[in-house]
Amino acid sequence: MERFGGAGVIRMAAVVILSAAAVRGQTPALPDAPGSDTVTRVCGACHPATIVLGHGMTREGWGQVVASMITRGAKGSAADFEAVTNYLAKNLPANAPGGAGGARHSLSAGPGDRQVVDRQSAARGKTIYTSECASCHGPLGRGANGPDLVRSVVVLHDHYGDTLGPYLMQRHPGAAGTAMASLTQKQIQDISHFLHQQVEDTLRSGPYTQVLNVMTGNAQAGAAYFNGAGGCARCHSGTGDLAGIASRYDAPTLQQRLLFPRTVALGAEGVAAPKPVTVKVTYENGEPISGTLVHIDDFNIALRDAAGNYHAWNRTPQLKIERHDPYAAHNELLDRITDQDIHNLVAYLETLK
C-alpha cells in the first residue's frame, strides 16, 4: 500500500496474479459498495487494489493485513484505514466464495525468506556506496548529513533490492545530485547486501567493533538444557552430528549458528551454507510439485524444482502447501530461550572438540 517500504513484494504479487476473471477475458473489479473508492486510493498507490479479490477473511484477519501494511509505511488517515478494514470485512468475508476461511495472515516474511548477506556482493556494494552515499549517510550507513540507514524502513523492508531499487531510481539523489537511475539491478543488489551487512553487524555486536566474550556460561548446565528443556537432543547428538564442532568453529560462530543458523554469512571461511526451505505444492486434483522455496506471501508462492524450473501460484483455498524448514526448531527456541541458557549452551558446545 505504501510506495516503497515493502511495495516490491506487493508489486510482484500484482504481476504474478492471474485471476479467474482475467482468464475469462473479464476485468476484475472490487465489489461496488461504500468504501471501495478509499480502498482504491489507499491500497492502489503501489499495487492494484483488486489483488485482494478471492481472499476472504474475518474482520480480525483483514485488520491484521491492514496493520501490517501500516507498519510497512502505508499512507492514509486513521479514518481511511478504518474504512478499508470495514470494506474488506463486509465485502470479502471469511465465508466468501474462494475465501480463505478464518485463516490468519502474517504478510511478514519468515526466517526462510530473510535476505542472506553475500560477502563478495557486500564488498562490491561498499565500493558503490562509498562513492555515492557515504558523504551523506556515513561510511557505515549510521548517518552523517543524512539519516541513519541502519534504522531506515526502506532498508529494513528490503529483500535483495526490491524496495531499495525503486526508492533509489525514483526519489533519491546520488552524490552528483541526480537520481541514481544509472545503477544496474546488480549494483542495487550489491548495495543491498552491504546495507544488510551493516544492519546485521549492528544487531550482532551493537556499538562494539569486536565480538564480545560469549564464554560465560556453565557447560554442565548447558548439557542439561541440551538434553532436556532445550529439546536439542531430539535432532542432534554431542557424539554424533555435533562431534568435534568446537574444533571447526570458534565460540562466537557457535552461538550465531545456534541462534540464527540461516543468517550466518554465505562465503564465510569454514562455515557451511544454510539449508534451504523446501515446499510441496498440490493443487486440487493435481500432481504435487516439490522444490526449494523462492518466495511466499499471503497471496503467492513460488518454488524452483530439482530440474531448475520455476513455478508460481496464486494462493487459494484449493492450493495445499506443505512447508519444511530444517531450522524450524531453532526459530521456535528463540521464543523461550534465556540469555543464561544461551551462554550455558555455548559453553557446552565448546567442550565438543
Q: Domain residues of the chain, as ranges?
A: 7-91, 119-205, 219-273+330-349, 278-324
Least confident interval from 39-48, 187-196, 203-212, 330-339? 203-212
Mean pLDDT (whole number) for 199-217? 68
Which pLDDT value is given to residue 256? 83
Of residues 352 and 248, the one with the higher pLDDT is: 352
Least confident interval from 151-160, 170-179, 319-328? 170-179
DSSP label at 286? S
Least confident interval from 1-10, 53-62, 134-143? 1-10
pLDDT in tens, 268-313: 455 566 788 999 999 887 889 999 998 888 898 999 999 999 999 8
Average pLDDT of the chain, as a whole number: 77
Mean pLDDT (whole number) for 224-232? 94
**Does the pLDDT at position 133 exceed 70?**
yes
Which pLDDT value is given to residue 343? 92
**Does the pLDDT at position 353 exceed 70?**
yes
Q: Cα separation of 16 and 211, whole Å?
A: 43
Which pLDDT value is given to residue 3? 35
Of residues 231 and 154, the one with the higher pLDDT is: 231
- Identical fold, 7-91 and 119-205: yes
**Does the pLDDT at position 228 exceed 90?**
yes
Q: Which amino acid is at 176?
A: A
* Percent with pLDDT over 70 in the chain: 75
Mean pLDDT (whole number) for 44-71? 72
Mean pLDDT (whole number) for 199-213? 63
Q: Cα separation of 64 and 105, whole Å?
A: 7
**Does the pLDDT at position 326 exceed 50?**
yes
Measured on CA atoms in the order 164, 208, 270, 340, is the torsion positive or negative? negative
Which pLDDT value is given to residue 347? 94
The phi-psi region of residue 31 (left if phi > 0; otherwise alpha if psi is between -120 and 50; otherwise beta) is beta
User: With 0-12 CB in 10 A as exposed, 13-18 as middle and 19+ as buried, what is 3?
Assistant: middle
Say how many C-beta atoms besides its own lie within 10 A of residue 252's C-beta. 17
Q: What is the CATH superfamily name and number for domain 7-91?
A: Cytochrome c-like domain (1.10.760.10)
Q: Cα separation of 217 and 242, whole Å?
A: 19
pTM score, two decimals?
Answer: 0.42
Q: Cα separation of 227 and 144, whole Å?
A: 49
**Does the pLDDT at position 174 exceed 70?**
no
Which pLDDT value is given to residue 210? 54
Q: What is the CA radius of gyration of the chain?
A: 23
Which pLDDT value is given to residue 96? 53
- Cell numbers given for 295: 518466495
Q: What is the CATH superfamily name and number for domain 119-205?
A: Cytochrome c-like domain (1.10.760.10)
Which pLDDT value is given to residue 215? 85
Of residues 340 and 77, the one with the higher pLDDT is: 340
Which pLDDT value is given to residue 108? 37
Mean pLDDT (whole number) for 77-85? 84
Mean pLDDT (whole number) for 132-160? 85
pLDDT in tens, 246-268: 998 888 888 888 888 876 544 44
Of residues 211 and 68, the one with the higher pLDDT is: 68
Which pLDDT value is given to residue 103? 35
**Does the pLDDT at position 46 exceed 60?**
yes
**Does the pLDDT at position 99 exceed 70?**
no
Q: Cα separation of 8 and 139, whole Å?
A: 27
Mean pLDDT (whole number) for 212-237? 91
